[in-house]
Amino acid sequence: MGTKHFLDIQIADISGKNLCDVFRENLKVQQYSNREDFENISVRSFFDPDCSEKEKFQRYYQDKNIIHHYGLQIFASVVMNNDGFFRVRSHSADNYYHAIYNTSEVEASDLKDCMEGTRYRILLPFHRQLIQESNSMVNTDIMYHTKLWEKKRIVDETKEEIQNFYNMLEECRDTMLSKEEKVYKLQNCLNDHEDDILVFDMERICTQDIEVFCKTVILYIATGAKNKRQNNIAIINCSTQDFVSIVRIFAVCYDKNGMSDWMRWTQIYLCGKDTREEFLLSGNNVHTLLTRVEKLAFSRKIHPMCIQILRNILERKRSKDGRIYSLTGEEKEEFNYTPFDLVLKKEEKTIFENNVKTVLENDIQGLESGCKISPTHMRLGSKIHINMFYEAELLFYNNYYTSRFASLLFENLQKSLSEQE
């Protein structure tokens, strides 16, 4: 065994109150109706709640409360994603609470000399091993064609609603408003869209605004979950860091068993500046989500670099006992994929057309999926000689491609007929 090196981080929030008392006081300010649920809460409850506590937190994280207390959840997620260790101790003059991970419990007598407030100790290894697991145990059928013929209204920056959203985001940036107040203002800019596609461009959103933006989207989705509103959201022109930041925040929406009821009605499509970099957030449990992502990549014959990074973030949200949890048996249902790639365009071509061009131009013998054979010498008939060839027949055995080719052909025929009239 080689020497292991760790980064040791210690943070102290010195105050006269402990974490639990502050949380209960905030419940009073928010006028939360079920405050009695958290009378006996401990620090551990925030990071590793038992079954009854999970139910209480699920009641709390409804509607506007969905955006509260993300700091602790993201903190725990970041540390555990990196195979780290952390200890939290929180005390006040009268009450002593503690929560410890990956070590033995601390006796109450060891805590009496601690200063009042909350302290975190974090150990992060400089090197870690990525988890490789297969999702083959989850059976999910992706229907690529069922929504091709549905006319989707695009709500992007050309519409006043999204332009107002960007303007409000810019106005809020340098104000003294809290993050929650900014989120409520931004959420009021968005109308209720059933089956439309909301499009947000990361080139219009600063890095410092990503958290507020994501929380706004989360609140928008959560408020429509009671009516089972179908949400189709596209986030385009993502950088690698954008992918990581966005997925990390949305991963918090899945509980300790990797479940999120309202994500069943949502499809969030992330697309990079390189359109081959695509990722889909959809599914009421992490197993189903990851299976859909991997099956979609397999069907497209394009395996984005971002998948492994994001997969590792989401893997940590799996249940500790290895079981596949599902709130509604969703993994047994057919999944009707919204054709974001046929609706959204880049440089006057749909994302699908751009990606097909890439697959066609890739060397058939290369590491990435491709159809091009070049340089070569082939003869067509008796007189025509060519120095390159495209083995595009490979694409026509794939329902993902054939359904989209048919849709594009149908649209072109309709356009030609209308022009003749």
CB 295, CB 283: distance < 8 Å: no
Confidence of residue 168 (pLDDT cuts 50, 70, 90): very high
Separation between Cα atoms, residue 12 and residue 121, nearest integer Å? 9
Instruction: State mean pLDDT over 163-179.
Output: 90
Mean pLDDT of the chain: 78
**Euclidean distance between CA atoms 93 and 225, whole angstroms:** 42
Label the pairing between strands 6-14 and 266-272. unpaired
Percent of the chain with pLDDT over 90: 14
- Determine what percent of the chain is predicted with pLDDT higher than 70: 79
8-50 tens-digit pLDDT: 888 888 777 778 888 888 888 878 888 888 888 877 777 777 7
> What is the rounded distance in angstroms from the CA atom of residue 225 to the CA atom of residue 284?
12
Question: Are 207 and 169 contacting, i.e. CB atoms less than 8 angstroms apart?
Answer: no
Pick the residue with more confidence: 190 or 248? 190
Calculate mean pLDDT across residues 353-373: 82
pTM assigned to the model: 0.74
Q: Please, which pLDDT band fits residue 383 given cuts at 50, 70 and 90?
A: confident
Higher confidence at residue 21 or residue 169?
169
Mean pLDDT of 129-142: 50
Query: Could you tell me the pLDDT band of residue 100, with boundaries at 50, 70 and 90?
Result: very low
Least confident of 189-193, 225-229, 232-236: 225-229
Whether the per-residue pLDDT at 405 is higher than 80: the answer is yes
Structure tokens belonging to residue 361: 């131009």
The number of beta carbons lying within 10 Å of the beta carbon of residue 291 is 22
Which amino acid, 307? I
In the predicted structure, residue 390 carries a pLDDT above the cut 60? yes
Bond before 375 cis per omega within 30 degrees: yes
| Nearest alpha carbon to residue 351 among 196, 140, 190, 154 | 154
Model confidence at 148: pLDDT above 90: no
More confident residue, 272 or 376: 272
Q: Identify the band that residue 114 occupies on the pLDDT scale cut at 50, 70 and 90.
A: low
Q: Which of 302, 395, 303, 291 is nearest to 335 (CA)?
A: 291
pLDDT of 132 reads 42
pLDDT in tens, 290-326: 888 888 888 877 777 777 777 766 666 555 544 544 4
